[in-house]
Structure 1
Amino acid sequence: MATARKSRGESRILRYLILGTWALVCLLPILWFLSIGFRPRTEVITPEPIYWPTFSLDAWRLLLSDWPIAKYLLNSVLAVGGSVVISLILGIPAAYALSRYEFRWREDIGFYILSTRMMAPAIVAVPIFFLFRSMGLLDTIWALMLIYAAVNLSLVIWIIRSYMLDIPKELEDAARTDGASDLRILWEIIIPACLPGIITAAVIAAIFAINEFLFTLLIASTANAYTMSVALANFTGGSDGIIYNAIALVSFIAFVPILILVILIQKHLSRGLTMGAVKG
């Protein structure tokens, strides 16, 4: 008994050691970027190795004085958050229809929706630009919400649909026997049952929206609607060259919101990533 207990203890220590090492490997690039952001620019660009770097807030002062980082961060949160809400409002009923209703060409329609994700964004960039210009939505957060939602909607529909297919239809039949409508079944039975899948789809859509660059650069023509991705691309230098420490600090700040989001919902996200499989 004592030997078995000792073996389990050693196995647990080994497991924690492996996981801790892997966590450190994953965190090192993030910590490295953060350390560059709090070092003087002269130390960052020097070819000589510096083993004891100097702590400096020069990059932070530069961002606060010359760069409206709070506005860009708010634009990113509004554009990404709004697009995720739009994608879920449209995607959940569409996924329910594709997973539950029997109608002609259902599978063809589902594949067509998914195929829009396979299209190169550059193909529709110019038509989308003229469309939003005719609607008077250029350089607005509303335009970014709509374009992000349009780009990620097909992915959201298929992820949620795969989870809805795993829900037994007997639950819906029992609810219909009690007189529940389809809308009530969707709200009270289907959505709670596939909540991990919905959360997973929302997080993936948010990550894709944050990483979207082409449409953001096309729609956000001025700093009024810049998100962090486009603002960071424009923040590449100053009168005396590239400001590496400020760029590193901005990159870290842009990464923090999605990191906090994943940490807050990691329980639901892990369940959503491990439940079921995508079905055709």
Structure 2
Amino acid sequence: MAKARKSRGESMLVRYLVLGGWAAVCLLPILWFLSIGFRPRTEVITPQPIYWPTFSLDAWHLLMSDWPIAQYLRNSVIAVAGSVVIDLVLAIPAAYALARYEFKGREDIGFYILSTRMMAPAIVAVPIFFLFKTLGLLDSVWALMLIYAAINLSLVTWIIRSYMLDIPKELEDAARTDGAGDLTILREIIVPACLPGIITAAVIAAIFAINEFLFTLLIASTSNAYTMSVALANFTGGSDGIIYNAIALVSFIAFVPILILVILIQKHLSRGLTMGAVKG
């Protein structure tokens, strides 16, 4: 008994050491990147190694005084959150129809929806620009919201559909026997059953939207609609050259909201990443 308890303790110790090592591998680059944001620019670009860096708020003062970083962050949050909501409102009914209704060409339609995600964004950049110019939506956060939603809608639909295929049809048959309609079944049974998958799809859509640069630069012609991705590009040129400490600080600020979101929903996210993985 004592030997088994000792072996179990050693196994737990090895497990914690491995997890601690992996956490260090993941966190140290982030902390190092953050440390660049709080160092003087002269120390960042110097070719000589500096073992005892100097703490400086130069990059923070630059962001607060010369750059409306709060506005960029607000634009990013509004555009990304709005696009995710639009994607979920449209993708959930579409995924349910593709997963449950039997009609001619269902698989072809499903593949066509997914194939639109394989298209290079630059192909439709010019038509989209003239479309939004005609509608008077250029240089607005609402335009970015619609663009992000259109880009990620096919992927979100396909991901949610794969989770809905794992839900037993017997649950729906029992609900129909009790007189429930399709909308009631979707709202009361399907959505709660595949909620982790929906959350996973929403997080993936949010990450893709945050990283979108081409359409953001195309639509946002002034700083009124700039997001964090375009704000980063503003620190890579000009008479002062590349401002590395400001880039590092802005990147960390852009990274924090997604980190907090993933921490808050990690329970559902871990379940969602394992759902729909195995088909019988």
TM-score range relative to shorter protein? over 0.9
CA distance in 1, matches of 2:112, 2:174: 32
* 2:225 alignment partner, SS class: coil
**Counterpart for residue 259 of structure 2:** 259
Contact 1:159 / 1:278 at 8 angstroms: preserved in 2? Answer: no
CA distance in 1, matches of 2:126, 2:225: 19
CA distance in 1, matches of 2:2, 2:272: 39
Q: Give the aligned residue type for 2:217.
A: L
Q: Which runs of 5+ in 1 are unaligned?
A: none
Q: CA deviation at 1:277?
A: 2.2
Within 5 Å, give how 1:189-228 maps onto structure 2.
Answer: 189-228=189-228
CA distance in 1, matches of 2:5, 2:219: 62
**Counterpart for residue 65 of structure 1:** 65
CA distance in 2, matches of 1:237, 1:127: 29
CA distance in 2, matches of 1:30, 1:113: 36
Within 5 Å, give how 1:88-107 maps onto structure 2.
Answer: 88-107=88-107
Q: CA deviation at 1:237?
A: 4.3
Contact 1:162 / 1:278 at 8 angstroms: preserved in 2? Answer: no
CA distance in 2, matches of 1:68, 1:237: 18
> Deviations 1:41-86 (Å, cap 9, x if unpaired)?
1111111111111111111111100010000000000000000000
Runs of 4+ in 1 over 3 A off after TM superposition: 237-240
Q: Does residue 1:160 correspond to 2:163, yes or no?
A: no
* 1:103 alignment partner, SS class: coil
* 2:55 alignment partner, SS class: coil
CA distance in 2, matches of 1:82, 1:235: 27
CA distance in 2, matches of 1:60, 1:137: 32
Q: CA deviation at 1:276?
A: 2.1
Within 5 Å, give how 1:1-280 maps onto structure 2.
Answer: 1-237=1-237, 239-277=239-277
Q: CA deviation at 1:238?
A: 5.1
CA distance in 2, matches of 1:168, 1:43: 60
Question: Taking structure 1 as reference, are residues 102 and 180 closer, same or farther at Cα in structure 2, changes over 3 Å only?
Answer: same
Q: CA deviation at 1:241?
A: 2.8
Higher alpha-carbon deviation: 20-29 or 182-191: 20-29
Question: Taking structure 1 as reference, are residues 127 and 278 closer, same or farther at Cα in structure 2, changes over 3 Å only?
Answer: farther
Contact 1:79 / 1:145 at 8 angstroms: preserved in 2? Answer: yes
CA distance in 1, matches of 2:60, 2:14: 40
Question: Taking structure 1 as reference, are residues 277 and 88 closer, same or farther at Cα in structure 2, changes over 3 Å only?
Answer: same
* 2:223 alignment partner, SS class: coil
* 1:224 alignment partner, SS class: helix
CA distance in 1, matches of 2:156, 2:90: 9
Q: CA deviation at 1:239?
A: 3.8
Q: Give the aligned residue type for 1:220.
A: A
CA distance in 2, matches of 1:234, 1:65: 15
The number of residues matched between the two structures is 280
Q: TM-score, normalised by structure 1?
A: 0.97
CA distance in 2, matches of 1:203, 1:73: 18
CA distance in 1, matches of 2:107, 2:180: 27
CA distance in 1, matches of 2:278, 2:201: 12
Q: Aligned residues: percent identity?
A: 89
> Deviations 1:114-157 (Å, cap 9, x if unpaired)?
10001010111111111111111111111111111111001101
Q: TM-score, normalised by structure 2?
A: 0.97
